[in-house]
C-alpha cells in the first residue's frame, strides 16, 4: 500500500471564523521554532483575552446552553450511531442489584441508608434471579451488535478500493490462492544458479520455498510483519522492511537477481513506476528481474485473478515490457504461462454450455494463458 | 526455555491490550525475538485494567510466535479501606508504610505468578517487569531481586513518592527508562544512585493509507486525533471539554476522532463532531495517523508517549500539554508540534495548526526526523544489552 497524499488538509482554512483566526500570527515556516511560536501564542492570548473569545464552560453547561435544556437534533453517520449504541450497551449490559445507596437528609440520612441497605439485602436473591436472565439477554444482544458492527466495518473495508491487505485476505478470510507451486518453480528456474535472488513483497514465502526446491538461494523482503512471521515460522529467510525502502537503501548496480510476483497489481500505481525505476538503478549490469503476473488477455483468467480481493488492476505484458525498456533494461521478454488444463477447460465449457468452445477464435480468447513471466536484463 | 531466556513480566499482555507500558513491552519482546534472543512472557490472565478479572485462560499460549505463560490474578477486593487509602494517596496525604503495603497487595497481584518466579528463578537469565505501579511487579521484584529489571514507566504522580516504591526501585538490578525526563524524575525521587539508563522503544517507518481510514469509519474533513486510553489520568475529559468549547467559540467544521479503550461521555449535541470509533487494530491506527490533520495528547503523566512518536512517523504535527515533562521534551527537542497550558493557548495553537498547512507539514517532517534518528531499534537493543550486562556485573 503506498503512502497517500493527505486529503483536503485546508478544509476549514479559508473561513476566518470569529474566534479562530490566526492570520495575524506572522510565522516563519522554514526554520520553525516551536518555542517562539508558543511565545507568540501567549502574547496573542493576552491581547485577546479581554474580548471574551476564550469561553471555557464545563460540558454540562455548554450542552445546556446549546440545547436550551431540550433535546438536541444531531444527525450523524449510521456507522457512528452503531458504534455509540454499542458502547452504551456495553456500559449498561451488566445489570446487578448493587446500585449505590445514599440519602440526602442530613439527620435521618444514616438510618434511611441502613434501612435501604437492609431492604436491598433482603431483596437481592429475588432480584438476582431476575437479573440473571436480563444479563444473559443483554450479553446476547451485545454479542449480536458487536458482530453487526464488525461485519459492517469489514464490508466497508472490503468495498474500499484496495482497502484489504494481503494478510487479512489470505489468512483471516481464508482466501485460497490457486496452486502456484509449479509456476513458482518455473519462475525460479529462470534465474541462473549461484545468484542470490531477492523476492520483493515475499508474503508467506511460497516463492522462497519453491526456489529452495530448485537449489536457488533466495531471501524475501516483506513489509507486513504478520506475513514475515508466517514465512519465518517456515524457516524461510525474510527481512521485515518496505520493499521500496529496501531497494533504495541498496548501493547502485549492486543486485544480481530480483523476483516480484503480481508486480503493480496491488497498491498505488505510482509504486509500480518507482519500483521499476529503482530496479533499473540497483541492478548490476547483466542482472535479471523476473516478474510473474496475471495476463489480462483471457476473460476467464481475469475473472479468476479477481477472486483475490486485494488485486486492484492487471498490467498488460506489452505495458510492462514498455515500462522496463523505458527504465533502461536491455533485454525484456514477456513469456505467456499457465495454460488451462484439459480438465479446467472441460469445467468451463460445462459452465458456459457451449460445444463451440472446443476450438476456434472464441476458445482462444477464453482459454489463452492466464499468466506471463516477464524476464528483464540490465 | 533455557538459562539464557529473558522473561518479561508485564501486568497484562496481548495484541488486544491497550496501554503504553504493555504495548512497549510487547514490541520490545517481539523485536528481541526477531533478532534471535530467547524471550518469554510471564503475565496475568487480565485484560481489563479496572476490574483485573481473568479474561485470558491460564496456561501457555503463543502470541506472534512468543511463548506467553498466563497466571490467574487474585480478584481485587475494592473494600472501603482500599478506597480510603487510595483517596488519601491521591490527595497527597501521608500514609503509613503498613497501609502502603496493604494497598499494593490490593492492586492486582498473582500468587501463582509469584510462586512460579520463585521456583523457576534458575531457569531464566533475567526478569524484566513492567510497569512499576502494580502488585505483580512489586511481588515479583521482591521475590527474585537478584535477576530483576524494571521498565518503570514512571510518572510524576502521588503513588511514585511512596516508600514501598523506593524499596522496589532499589531492589532491582537496574531500571530501563523510556526517556531522559523519566530518568531524571526517578533519580530526583529515589536518589541519584539509582542504576539504569534510557532504553525506550524503537520505531520503523511504516506505510499507511489515510483514505482507507476515512472511508472505513466515515470521517470527512479536518480532524484532530486522540488515541489511547480514555480516562481522567490521561486528561481525555479535558481534551473533550476544550474541543467542544473550541467548536462552540469558533463555529469551525473540524472533528475530534477518538480511538482506544475506556468510557467517555460525549455531549449529545457534539456527537456529529466528536467521533468515537473505539478500539482499532494496528493497521487502522496507522491509517488514522495518515488521515488526521494533527494529533492531540493532553496527558500530563507520561513516561514515553508512543502515540506521539508513531504519529510523527506519519508526518503528523502534535499538540501536547505544557505540564507534561516527557511529551514537552519530545516536542521541544524535535520542533514537531506545540504545547498548550490552558484553554486559551489550546484555542490559539489549534487554530494556528488548522490554518497553516505548511507549518503542519514542516512540524510533521521535523517530528519524523527526530523519531528516526533518536529511536531506532538498533540503539534500543544496544542500550537494553548494556543495562543487562551492567546489572549482571553488579550482581557478581
Query: Domain check: are A146 and A180 in the same one?
Result: no
In this complex, the residue of B64, B205, B252 whose CB is nearest that of residue A12 is B252
Q: What is the CATH number of domain B210-374?
A: 3.40.50.2000
Query: Domain check: are A106 and A224 in the same one?
Result: no
In this complex, the residue of A8, A41, A245 whose CB is nearest that of residue B345 is A41
A110 falls within a domain: yes
* The pLDDT value given to residue B95: 82
* The pLDDT value given to residue B268: 87
List CB contacts (< 8 A) between A72 and chain B.
268-269
The three state secondary structure string of B164-209 is: HHHHHHHHCCEEEECCHHHHHHHHHHHCCCCCEEECCCCCCCCCCC
Query: Domain check: are A126 and A180 in the same one?
Result: no
CA-nearest of B150, B132, B185 to B329 is B185
| More confident site: A15 or B309 | B309
A31 falls within a domain: no
Residue B264 has pLDDT above 90, yes or no: no
Give the mean pLDDT of B321-337: 93
Query: Domain check: are A190 and A95 in the same one?
Result: no
List CB contacts (< 8 A) between A223 and chain B.
206-207
> Across the interface, do A2 and B215 touch by the CB < 8 Å criterion?
no
> Across the interface, do B248 and A242 touch by the CB < 8 Å criterion?
no
Residue A8 banded pLDDT, cuts 50, 70, 90: very low
Query: Domain check: are A102 and A181 in the same one?
Result: no
Give the mean pLDDT of B336-355: 96
Residue A29 banded pLDDT, cuts 50, 70, 90: low
> Across the interface, do B348 and A45 touch by the CB < 8 Å criterion?
yes
The last residue of one of the domains, among A97, A130, A157, is A157
Greatest distance between any 2 Cα atoms in chain A: 101
CA-nearest residue to A70 within chain B is: B269
Q: Which H helix or E strand runs over B238?
A: helix B236-250
A17 falls within a domain: no
Residue A356 has pLDDT above 70, yes or no: no
Residue B232 banded pLDDT, cuts 50, 70, 90: confident
Half-sphere exposure (CA, 13 Å, Cβ side) for A1? 25
In this complex, the residue of B30, B269, B332 whose CB is nearest that of residue A63 is B269
List CB contacts (< 8 A) between A28 and chain B.
none
Query: Domain check: are A238 and A343 in the same one?
Result: yes
Query: Domain check: are A323 and A217 in the same one?
Result: yes
Provide the residue range defining the domain that includes A136: 78-157
Residue B192: count other Cβ atoms within 10 Å of its Cβ. Answer: 7
Contact partners, residue A39, CB within 8 Å, separation at least 6: none
> Across the interface, do A17 and B252 touch by the CB < 8 Å criterion?
yes
> Across the interface, do A12 and B338 touch by the CB < 8 Å criterion?
no
In this complex, the residue of B205, B283, B337 whose CB is nearest that of residue A165 is B283
Give the mean pLDDT of B79-84: 74
Residue A6 has pLDDT above 50, yes or no: no
Calpha distance B250→B248 (Å, rounded): 6
Give the mean pLDDT of B159-183: 91
Domain with CATH 3.40.50.2000 in chain B: 6-202+376-395, 210-374
First to last CA, chain B: 23
Calpha distance A370→A378 (Å, rounded): 26
Phi, psi of A257 (to 5 degrees): -150, 130
The CA distance from A342 to the nearest CA of chain B, in Å, is 42
> Across the interface, do B276 and A163 touch by the CB < 8 Å criterion?
no
Calpha distance B86→B130 (Å, rounded): 21
> Across the interface, do A22 and B356 touch by the CB < 8 Å criterion?
yes
Lowest mean pLDDT among A72-76, A119-123, B241-245, B356-360: A72-76
- Top residue of A13, A32, A142 to mutate, by most chain B CBs within 10 Å, is A32
List CB contacts (< 8 A) between B244 and chain A.
59, 62
Beta strands in B201-263, from DSSP E residues, in sequence order: 223-227, 255-259
Query: Domain check: are A309 and A199 in the same one?
Result: yes
Query: Which CATH fold topology does B6-202+376-395 show?
Result: Rossmann fold (3.40.50)
Backbone dihedral region for residue A286 (phi beyond 0: left; psi -120 to 50: alpha; all else: beta): left
**Could you tell me how many residues make up chain A?**
378
- Top residue of A9, A226, A270 to mutate, by most chain B CBs within 10 Å, is A9
Beta strands in B45-114, from DSSP E residues, in sequence order: 59-63, 66-71
The β-bridge partners of B320 are B297, B339
CA-nearest residue to B366 within chain A is: A32
Query: Domain check: are A95 and A182 in the same one?
Result: no
Domain count, chain A: 2
Query: Domain check: are A196 and A102 in the same one?
Result: no
Q: Which three cell numbers stand for residue A352?
A: 458456459
Query: Domain check: are A153 and A183 in the same one?
Result: no
A240 falls within a domain: yes
What's the CATH code of the domain at A349?
3.40.50.150
Amino acid at each position: 500500500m503506498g503512502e497517500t497524499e493527505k486529503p483536503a488538509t485546508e478544509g476549514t482554512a479559508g473561513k476566518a471564523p470569529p474566534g479562530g483566526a490566526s492570520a495575524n500570527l506572522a510565522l516563519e515556516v522554514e526554520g520553525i521554532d516551536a518555542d517562539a511560536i508558543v511565545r507568540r501564542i501567549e502574547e496573542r492570548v493576552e491581547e485577546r483575552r479581554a474580548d471574551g473569545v476564550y469561553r471555557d464552560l464545563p460540558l454540562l453547561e455548554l450542552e445546556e446552553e446549546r440545547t436550551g435544556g431540550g433535546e438536541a437534533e444531531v444527525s450523524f453517520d449510521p456507522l457512528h450511531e452503531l458504534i455509540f449504541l454499542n458502547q452504551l450497551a456495553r456500559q449498561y449490559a451488566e445489570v446487578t442489584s448493587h446500585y449505590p445507596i445514599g440519602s440526602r437528609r442530613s439527620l435521618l440520612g444514616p438510618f434511611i441508608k441502613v434501612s435501604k441497605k437492609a431492604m436491598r439485602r433482603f431483596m437481592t436473591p429475588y432480584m438476582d434471579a431476575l437479573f440473571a436472565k436480563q444479563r444473559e439477554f443483554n450479553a446476547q444482544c451485545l454479542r449480536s451488535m458487536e458482530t453487526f458492527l464488525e461485519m459492517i466495518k469489514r464490508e466497508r473495508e472490503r468495498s474500499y478500493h484496495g482497502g484489504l491487505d494481503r494478510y487479512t485476505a489470505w489468512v483471516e478470510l481464508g482466501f485460497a490462492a490457486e496452486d502456484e507451486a509449479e509456476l513458482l518453480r518455473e519462475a525460479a528456474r529462470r534465474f541462473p544458479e549461484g545468484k542470490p535472488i531477492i523476492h520483493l513483497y515475499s508474503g508467506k514465502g511460497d516463492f522462497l520455498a519453491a526456489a529452495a526446491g530448485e537449489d536457488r538461494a533466495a531471501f524475501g523482503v516483506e513489509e507486513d510483519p504478520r506475513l514475515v512471521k508466517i514465512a519465518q515460522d517456515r524457516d524461510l529467510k525474510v527481512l521485515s522492511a518496505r520493499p521500496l525502502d529496501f531497494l533504495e537503501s541498496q548501493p547502485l548496480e549492486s543486485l544480481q537477481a530480483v523476483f516480484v510476483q503480481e508486480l503493480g497489481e496491488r497498491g498505488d500505481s505510482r509504486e509500480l513506476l518507482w519500483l521499476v525505476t529503482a530496479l533499473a538503478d540497483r541492478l548490476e549490469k547483466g542482472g535479471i528481474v523476473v516478474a510473474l503476473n496475471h495476463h489480462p488477455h483471457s476473460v476467464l483468467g481475469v475473472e479468476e485473478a479477481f477472486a483475490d480481493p486485494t488485486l486492484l488492476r492487471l498490467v498488460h505484458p506489452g505495458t510492462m515490457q514498455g515500462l522496463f525498456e523505458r527504465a533502461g533494461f536491455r533485454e525484456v521478454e514477456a513469456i505467456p504461462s499457465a495454460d488451462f488444463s484439459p480438465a479446467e477447460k472441460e469445467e468451463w465449457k460445462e459452465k458456459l454450455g457451449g460445444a463451440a468452445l472446443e476450438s476456434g477464435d472464441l476458445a482462444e480468447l477464453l482459454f489463452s494463458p492466464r499468466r506471463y513471466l516477464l524476464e528483464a536484463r540490465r | 526455555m533455557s538459562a539464557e531466556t529473558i522473561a518479561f513480566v508485564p501486568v497484562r499482555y496481548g495484541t488486544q491490550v491497550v496501554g503504553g507500558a504493555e504495548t512497549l513491552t510487547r514490541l520490545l519482546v517481539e523485536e528481541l525475538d526477531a533478532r534471535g534472543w530467547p524471550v518469554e512472557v510471564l503475565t496475568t490472565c487480565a485484560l481489563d485494567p479496572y476490574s483485573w478479572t481473568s479474561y485470558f485462560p491460564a496456561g501457555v499460549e503463543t502470541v506472534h510466535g512468543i511463548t506467553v505463560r498466563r497466571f490467574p490474578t487474585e480478584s481485587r477486593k475494592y473494600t472501603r479501606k482500599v478506597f480510603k487509602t487510595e483517596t488519601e494517596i491521591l490527595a497527597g496525604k501521608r500514609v503509613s508504610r503498613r497501609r502502603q503495603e496493604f494497598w499494593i497487595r490490593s492492586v492486582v497481584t498473582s500468587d501463582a505468578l509469584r510462586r512460579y518466579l520463585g521456583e523457576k528463578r534458575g531457569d531464566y537469565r533475567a526478569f524484566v517487569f513492567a510497569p512499576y505501579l502494580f502488585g505483580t511487579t512489586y511481588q515479583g521484584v521482591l521475590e527474585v531481586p537478584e535477576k530483576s529489571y524494571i521498565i518503570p514507566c514512571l510518572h510524576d504522580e502521588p503513588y511514585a513518592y511512596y516508600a514501598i516504591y523506593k524499596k522496589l526501585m532499589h531492589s532491582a538490578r537496574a531500571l530501563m527508562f523510556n526517556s531522559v525526563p523519566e530518568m531524571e524524575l526517578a533519580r530526583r525521587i529515589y536518589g541519584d544512585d539509582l542504576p539504569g539508563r534510557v532504553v525506550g522503544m524503537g520505531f520503523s517507518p511504516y506505510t499507511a493509507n489515510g483514505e482507507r481510514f476515512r472511508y472505513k469509519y466515515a470521517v470527512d474533513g479536518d480532524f484532530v486525533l486522540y488515541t489511547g486510553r480514555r480516562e481522567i489520568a490521561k486528561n481525555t475529559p479535558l481534551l473533550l471539554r476544550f474541543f467542544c468549547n473550541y467548536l462552540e467559540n469558533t463555529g469551525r467544521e473540524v472533528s475530534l476522532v477518538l480511538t482506544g479503550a475506556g468510557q467517555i461521555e460525549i455531549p449529545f449535541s457534539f456527537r456529529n463532531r466528536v467521533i468515537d470509533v473505539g478500539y482499532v487494530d494496528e493497521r487502522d491506527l496507522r491509517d488514522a495517523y495518515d488521515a488526521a490533520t494533527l494529533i492531540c495528547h493532553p496527558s500530563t503523566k507520561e513516561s514515553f508517549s508512543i502515540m506521539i512518536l508513531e504519529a510523527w512517523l506519519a508526518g503528523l504535527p502534535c499538540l501536547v500539554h505544557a505540564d507534561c515533562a516527557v511529551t514537552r521534551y519530545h516536542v521541544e527537542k524535535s520542533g514537531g508540534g506545540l504545547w498548550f497550558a490552558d484553554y486559551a493557548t489550546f484555542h490559539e495553537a489549534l487554530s494556528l495548526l488548522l490554518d497553516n498547512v505548511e507549518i503542519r507539514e514542516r512540524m510533521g517532517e521535523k517530528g519524523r526526523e527526530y523519531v528516526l534518528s533518536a529511536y531506532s531499534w538498533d540503539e534500543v537493543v544496544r542500550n537494553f544489552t548494556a543495562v543487562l550486562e551492567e546489572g549482571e556485573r553488579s550482581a557478581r
